[in-house]
């Protein structure tokens, strides 16, 4: 009788220990990524001092901004033990649609951003509905959406190109302007990042995304509305990708049908390298953004060091494999450690 009464507190203490251990390990992952990033920047700067010039730092921040935004949206989906492979094609479609919308007109920049958000959210809604309510595997749905959106984009463009000369200066200034020497795009990415991090940590619905990824069955038994949460994650990811497409137009001015082609795997790599477990339930958007910054900095460093760009893909692939391997090893060790702790608590009880 005594054992049965004491068992729930022991289980609760085990759960708290699991959360504490997991948070400690993955906080260490984020710190190690920041350390690798600092070493990379330092080494490149020692080789070429212009790497950290005012313009060099601005270029690093600008190059990482759009990828970091996409990583934030993707990480919210990955936390639920799903994936969104359509983000790159959504960026391309949104950039072209926004370019057509403003081409030769004086539309307000806010309307351009809202159009990108709405278009991306619609794409995310379709993917999320099929995954959550249709119960179709996320890999199949989002891969299919990738090709469908690409097809629509190519059909619509017909080889047409949106030129910077056709884009209003108010839109282009968003991609080239700055405040206190800091470009607008990194500031926008930082605001979205901080908002997503606060939501995931402070709101019940945000914490439920972690619960779904950790154990869908346990989340269901706890009354978590899994379908609605997964749908919301996909809508958020799509909206962020559409928003990033509008910023792509502002950043580059010139837009074609295959913008951001192949970025899907780069975004997933940034998320996983940043410490968000591909199996869901673990990680932060801060880590995902650090992963995006690390990958873009590697690309910039290779250019400065005059190394063949082929090596960027090779390094990205190696980092992805290493991150997944580390996650697997850590999960096995944490599971073993938690079993031992639970066994000791039960014995004491």
Helices (H) and strands (E) in the chain, counts: 13, 2
Q: What angle do CA 178, 193, 152 make, to 5 degrees?
A: 85
Question: What DSSP string describes 263-303?
Answer: HHHHHHHHHHHTT--TTSS---HHHHHHHHHHHHHHHHHHH
Asked whether the predicted pLDDT for residue 328 surpasses 80, the reply is no
Q: How far apart are CA 276 and CA 123, in angstroms?
A: 23
17 to 12, 23, 344: CA distances (angstroms) = 9, 10, 13
Mean pLDDT of 225-236: 96
Q: Give the highest mean pLDDT range of 12-21, 117-126, 212-221, 306-315.
A: 117-126
Q: What is the pLDDT of residue 77?
A: 96
Q: What average pLDDT does range 124-151 have in this prediction?
A: 94
DSSP-based three-state secondary structure for 42: helix
Rounded-to-integer distance, Cα 101 and Cα 40, Å: 41
pLDDT at residue 7 in the model: 39
Has residue 32 got a pLDDT over 50? yes
Of 11-25, 82-96, 137-151, 293-307, the one with minimum mean pLDDT is 11-25
Q: Quick one: pLDDT band at residue 159, thresholds 50, 70, 90?
A: confident
Q: Band of the pLDDT at 36, cuts 50, 70, 90? A: confident
pLDDT confidence of 97, banded at 50, 70, 90?
Answer: very high
Break the chain down into helix, strand, coil percent, rounded to 5: 80, 0, 20
pLDDT at 336 over 50: yes
The tens digit of pLDDT for each residue in 180-200 reads 888 999 999 999 999 999 999
Compute the mean pLDDT over every residue in the chain, rounded to the nearest whole number. 84
Instruction: Name residue, tokens 């809202």.
Output: 114
Scan for tokens 């962020």, then name that residue: 240
DSSP state letter for 49: G
Q: What domains sit in the chain, N to C, each tagged with a CATH number?
A: 16-348 (1.10.3470)
- Look at residue 334 in the predicted model and tell me its pLDDT: 60
pLDDT in tens, 46-72: 888 888 888 888 888 998 999 999 999
């Amino acid at each position: 009788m005594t054992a049965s009464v004491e068992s729930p507190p022991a289980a609760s203490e085990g759960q708290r220990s699991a959360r504490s251990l997991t948070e400690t390990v993955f906080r260490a992952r984020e710190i190690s990524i920041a350390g690798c990033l600092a070493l990379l920047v330092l080494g490149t700067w020692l080789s070429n001092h212009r790497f950290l010039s005012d313009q060099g730092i601005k270029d690093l921040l600008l190059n990482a901004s759009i990828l970091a935004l996409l990583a934030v949206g993707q990480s919210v989906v990955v936390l639920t033990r799903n994936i969104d492979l359509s983000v790159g094609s959504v960026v391309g479609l949104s950039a072209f649609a926004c370019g057509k919308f403003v081409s030769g007109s004086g539309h307000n920049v806010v309307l351009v951003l809202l159009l990108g958000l709405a278009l991306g959210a619609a794409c995310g809604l379709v993917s999320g509905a099929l995954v959550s309510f249709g119960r179709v595997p996320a890999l199949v749905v989002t891969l299919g959406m990738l090709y469908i959106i690409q097809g629509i984009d190519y059909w619509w463009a017909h080889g047409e190109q949106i030129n910077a000369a056709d884009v209003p200066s108010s839109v282009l200034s968003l991609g080239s302007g700055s405040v206190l020497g800091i470009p607008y795009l990194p500031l926008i990415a930082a605001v979205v990042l901080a908002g997503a991090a606060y939501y995931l940590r402070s709101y019940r619905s945000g914490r439920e995304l972690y619960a779904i990824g950790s154990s869908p069955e346990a989340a269901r038994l706890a009354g978590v509305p899994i379908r609605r949460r997964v749908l919301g994650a996909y809508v958020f990811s799509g909206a962020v990708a559409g928003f990033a497409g509008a910023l792509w137009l502002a950043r580059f001015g010139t837009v074609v049908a295959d913008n951001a082609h192949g970025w899907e795997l780069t975004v997933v790599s940034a998320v996983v390298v940043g410490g968000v477990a591909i199996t869901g339930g673990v990680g932060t958007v801060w880590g995902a953004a650090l992963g995006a910054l690390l990958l873009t900095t590697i690309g910039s460093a290779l250019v400065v060091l005059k190394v063949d760009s082929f090596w960027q893909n090779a390094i990205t692939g190696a980092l992805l494999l290493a991150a997944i391997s580390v996650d697997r090893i850590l999960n096995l060790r944490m599971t073993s450690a938690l079993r031992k702790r639970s066994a000791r608590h039960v014995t004491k009880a």
